[in-house]
Amino acid sequence: MLEVRRLRLLAELAARGTLAEVAEALHQSPSSVSQQLGQLEREVGVPLLTKAGRRVQLTAAAEVLVEHTTEILARLEAAEAAVTALGDETAGTVRVAVFQSVALAYMPQALADLTRRHPRLRVMLSQRAPEQALHDLALRELDLVVAEHYPDHGAPHFDGLDRRPLTTDRLRLALPPRGSGAIWDDITSLAEAGCVPWAMEPPGTASRHWIEEQCRRAGFEPEVRYETDDVEAHVALVESGNAVALLSDLMRVRHRTAVRLIELPGSPRRTVFTATRTAIADSPGIIACRAALARVVPADLVLPT
């Protein structure tokens, strides 16, 4: 019988790419990981790894093992979730990751709701970029993620994830308030925002890719003078007359912003969704967290301009 822990190491190597990354993620030394994979190789009787410079590559036999291991790990998670569901009270730990605007707008209320209803449930919350959070969820580093999907811009796909819509919110162009200067006051559409500085999230993020596409469709390449993943910093830069930026309604839930808002072509809305691994989607902790979010987050967020 093959050892599940060694099989998991092989699956982790397939997902992460290097022995060092596997060791770091599982809090082991690289030599320990290498020794255990060597033992697994002896158990199956065929080569599983080949050298590729300073890295290792999986053989065809290893790929077959990884495919089966993925199914085995999912079944084990599902079995654990089924047993947990037999308890009288929702308990345990759920590792949740959200992006900034959700963390600010609704997570305090959702966490308070969970504490009242399920005092034995321990929620560990972290803020992560949606792309990274989904990746970490697939690697079993998280249990539940709140992520985003921009119009005509698909979120990263990972096998074995259960995704459910949570809400939608409007995306608008945010400009400094009236009286900040003619360069700002004269802008009445996205197409006229090509001559002013922009604040955007770093390259590689969904919001950056999406708004850059909108600018190019409007006929210009935006001058990204301020780059930060802190969307509250974007708001501050706009309010102070330093830049324009993409602003979602979620960022205006906690307090009204002192910015001027302009509708974008087509009045686009972003979709916000929750994701978990399919194997644990029916576990009491995941069900409780999703229910709490559904209670505090409106299905379609509508805020006045």
Say whether domain 4-84 belongs to CATH 3.40.350.10.
Answer: no
pLDDT value of residue 240: 96
* CATH code, residues 91-305: 3.40.190.290
SS3 223: strand
DSSP string for 233-262: HHHHHHHTTS-EEEEEGGGGSSS--S-EEE
pLDDT value of residue 24: 87
Question: What are the start and end residues of each CATH 3.40.190.290 domain in the chain?
Answer: 91-305
Enter the DSSP assignment of 286: H
Question: What are the start and end residues of each CATH 1.10.10.10 domain in the chain?
Answer: 4-84
Q: What is the pLDDT along the chain (305 residues), one digit of tens a residue?
A: 788 999 989 988 988 888 888 888 888 998 899 899 999 999 999 999 998 877 889 999 999 999 999 889 988 988 888 887 777 789 899 999 999 999 999 999 999 999 999 999 999 999 999 999 999 999 999 999 999 999 988 777 888 999 999 999 999 999 999 999 999 999 999 999 999 999 999 999 999 999 999 999 999 999 999 999 999 999 999 999 999 999 999 999 988 889 999 999 999 999 999 999 999 999 999 999 999 999 999 998 888 77
Question: Given the DSSP bridges, would you call strands 92-98 and 144-149 parallel, antiparallel or unpaired?
Answer: parallel
Q: How far apart are CA 252 and CA 235, in angstroms?
A: 10
pLDDT value of residue 87: 78
